[in-house]
Chain A
Amino acid sequence: MSTAVKKQWPESQRHRPRPAWLLFARQCRATATMAATGQLGEGPLFLMDYLLRFLRVAVLLALWRIILSGKGEVSGMTLDGVLTYTLISEVFAEPLAGRTEIAWLLFQGDLGGRFLRPMGLVGQLVAETVGRWLVGLVLFSLPLLLLAPLLGVNSAPSSPIALGWFALSLVLAVAVGLAIDLCFGALAVAFHHNVYMVDRVRGGVTAVLSGAMLPLALLPGNLGNLFSFLPFAAMASAPLRIYTGTGPIGPLLVSQLVWAVLLWLLARWLWQVYRQKLAVHGG
């Protein structure tokens, strides 16, 4: 007869169900870590992207100096303001672009499998996206901020209060960007997985209309005013205007909040409609 005695774990080590939020937070952390380390695991060649981006920033700053030198204030923006706008736009380029891996997952036919994971699809995509941003933050954004004085750019916000509002605006900008990305992903499903087309159009549209490339105030005619009413302006133009003190904080934040709510509702509805179609196509 066996005399083995079942091991008794101390009370502190016994399994207890964890709160759902804690489990979700751990899942997000693990997913973000995998996404971040996934970039680092393929050797140092990914650094080339960041080196080329430094060059791009230097060229953009040089061009603004050529264009605006001696022109004084143009449409409420000075040369220094535009330089700060451009630099901060590049520092936060990834969050302001608000791109997840959804297009790539659709292209690869991997999205269906994501629905089987023990974590919501949106949570997975957002956690992965944030994980990748962290790498860029360390390798590009922080060094660029430190190099700003050498580039002759004042990277400071217009005021300490503006910095606080900018942080909130950045969160809302990310929310809007991610919702737009999910909407475009759903449209890719709707258009029979023509992901390539939808993704490229999305990239082009957002780059021009969001104000990430050029401050909307410096566009010709009434284009800037027109574009500022579109949801894309909530992705980049709004936080950058708040940072540089070239826009009214309250209305900009309210418009971002409204767009974030509307677009997330739209994204949710689109995915409810087209998820079935995705399943029919096999993911």
Chain B
Amino acid sequence: MRVLKLWRLYAWMDLTWILQDPITAVTYFISDLFVNLTLVVGALLLAERFDGIGSWSRDQVVFMLGYAILVRGIVDGIFGFNIAFISRRIGRGQLDHVLIQPQSFWLALLVDGFTPFSGLTATLPGLVLMVLAGQRLSIEVSPGWLGLFGANVLGSLGVILAFSFLWGSLAFWSPRGAEEISSSAMRMIDQLKPFPLDGVAPLLLGGLLTVVPAGFVAWYPVRALLGIAAPLPTGLVTPAAALGFLALTILVYRKGMRHYGYTGSQRYHSMGHRR
């Protein structure tokens, strides 16, 4: 309940930020829209040129790209202001700003970056691509399919955040050196997510589902949603993987927090960086 109240408050702040300078907001929207599309345009162009990629048809690829953009849009919309890029907050000493808030740390992380209107630049085009491709693919949208879709979107979201936080935790030990490590992790996910990975060598595929789990961001869940693989149990793998990654991340993150409890941030030292 408190989450919803705080989300409403943050959504209002996000809206007022947009309305106070609509011209700037529009330029941001257009540039973000453009950038989000360029992340997947390579795969889109390849699918158009070769009428699909590998065993995937063009429409299946478009649906997958829509899913990938949608998930990224949700990350941007709920975990904005560098929550998704947590190493920046840790490295810059901004974690203290979260810790002094009169609410639990995890609740603060859940609401602090809630910018649903700013995040529309990715969620809307993602949805449009999915709907257009879904119509051509004649997907039967049943309550069961929607449930599977919701679970997989949450799973993909969890995998992305866990991966970013897992790498980002290094900033507890190396605030300056690892300040941008979440950005590197997210960039790699963004670059590898838009391709269907059927036919990729097992070793490489294993790496893309574990070391850099880009396969769970769009490819694996969409296989289940489009019936390329059996919806069950394939559709449950991404949510399960997300739980596994999140558990590992929480372990590492807590260890980092304990370290942080002893060392604190360099930011406010006389020779601290970014001072």
Residues of A within 8 A of B (CB): 42-46, 48-49, 52, 55-56, 58-59, 62-63, 66-67, 191, 194, 197-198, 200-201, 203-205, 207-208, 213-214, 218-220, 223
Contact = CB atoms under 8 A, between A and B. Distances in A.
B49 A220 contact: yes
Given A45-B174, A46-B177, A67-B46, A62 B41 contact: no
A51 to B, nearest CB: 9
Given A214-B42, A220-B45, A59 B53 contact: no
Interface in B171-212: 174, 176-178, 181, 184-185, 188, 191-192, 195, 197-201, 204, 207-208, 211-212
A90 to B, nearest CB: 11
A59 B31 contact: no
Nearest to A200: B35
B207 A66 contact: no
Query: What interface size band does chain B fall in?
Result: 35 or more
A208 B194 CA distance: 14
A55 B199 CA distance: 16
Given A55-B211, A58-B204, A207-B38, A43 B45 contact: no
Contacts of B181: 45, 48
B14 interface: no
Contacts of B208: 55, 59
Contacts of A55: 188, 192, 204, 207-208, 211-212
A66 B38 contact: no
A213 B42 contact: yes
Contacts of B50: 67
B167 interface: yes
Question: Taking chain B's interface residues, is the majority helix, strand, or loop, or is none over half, making it mixed?
Answer: helix
Nearest to A108: B274
Interface of B: 24, 27-28, 31-32, 34-35, 37-39, 41-42, 45-46, 48-50, 53-54, 167, 170, 174, 176-178, 181, 184-185, 188, 191-192, 195, 197-201, 204, 207-208, 211-212
Contacts of B192: 55-56, 59
Contact of A63 (B35, B195, B211): B195
Contacts of A56: 188, 191-192
Contacts of B199: 62, 66
A62 B167 contact: no
A204 B199 CA distance: 28
A45 B34 CA distance: 31
Contacts of B27: 191, 194, 197
B44 to A, nearest CB: 9
Given A44-B177, A197-B28, A208-B38, 14 more contacts: A45-B178, A48-B184, A52-B185, A58-B204, A59-B197, A63-B195, A63-B200, A194-B27, A197-B27, A197-B31, A201-B34, A204-B38, A207-B42, A218-B46
A214 B45 contact: yes
Contact of A204 (B34, B45, B49): B34
B201 A62 contact: yes
Contacts of B31: 197-198, 200-201
A58 B191 CA distance: 13
Contacts of B37: 204
B41 A208 contact: yes
